[in-house]
Amino acid sequence: MSHTTFPSTLPIPQDDGACSHLAGSVIPSVSLPSTSGTAVDLSTLPGRTILFCYPRTGAPGEAITDDWNAIPGARGCTPQACSFRDETQKLYRLGVQHLYGLSTQDTAYQQEAKERLHLPFDLLSDEKLGLVDALKLPLFEWHGQRLVKRLALAIRDGRVEQVWYPVFPPDKNAADVVTRLESKQEQPPS
């Protein structure tokens, strides 16, 4: 089965409360390598940043195993990234200044995915779990790897303003973010 399709029997992740502490949190100062070759500290970025987190993208030709499919929320990293690719311009029109994907994979692995998927935004590597641990983001283990569970954050001026968790289906994550940002624009200022 392709990395861009889903079996109908995928288990749906349930909200286990693992992100309930994040709304309003201050983003810690952690320097993360990006696929642009620079380091990014999300705590210093002005305006609105959208950060979507995913466990891992599969490599071309890599078989998707039954044990991966059995983990609720694991499957769908490529479709999630492609959904943000397809909604990038709309997100920018809605006031997003920065858009990033984040996984615990190394930058070289992410660079291949960025090029193959034609992603117009950078991917951030948290291979050392600096941001993941500082924010207490939910993780799971698979084949000896610690992987971040799928979620998305809207960050404004270094503070979490919105959390999407759990994310399912993953290919609708960007559309959910767009819908939320559109609804915020319709609200009168307070």
Domain ranges of the chain: 36-184
pTM of the model: 0.94
pLDDT digits 0-9 by tens, 156-188:
999 999 999 999 999 999 999 999 999 988 665
Instruction: Give the DSSP letter string of 96-139.
Output: EEEEEEEESS-HHHHHHHHHHHT-SSEEEE-TT-HHHHHHT--E
Residues 120-157 pLDDT 10s: 999 999 999 999 999 999 999 999 999 999 999 999 99
**Predicted local distance difference test score (pLDDT) of residue 5:** 65
pLDDT above 90 (res 2): no
pLDDT digits (tens, 9 = 90+) for 77-98: 999 999 999 999 999 999 999 9
Q: Which pair of tokens denotes residue 177? A: 């973010």
What tokens appear for 175 in the block? 């559309």
176 half-sphere exposure, CB direction, 13 A CA radius:
18
Q: What percent of the chain has pLDDT over 70?
A: 94
DSSP codes, 133-176 = HHHT--EEEETTEEEEPPEEEEEETTEEEEEE-S--SGGGHHHH
CA distance 86 to 147: 25
* CATH no. for 36-184: 3.40.30.10
What pLDDT is stored for residue 1 in this prediction?
A: 44
pLDDT of residue 147: 97
Nearest CA among 145, 162, 177 for reference residue 80: 177
Q: For position 60, what pLDDT does the model report?
A: 79
* 3-class DSSP assignment, residue 82: helix
d(CA 89, CA 118) in angstroms, rounded, equals 14
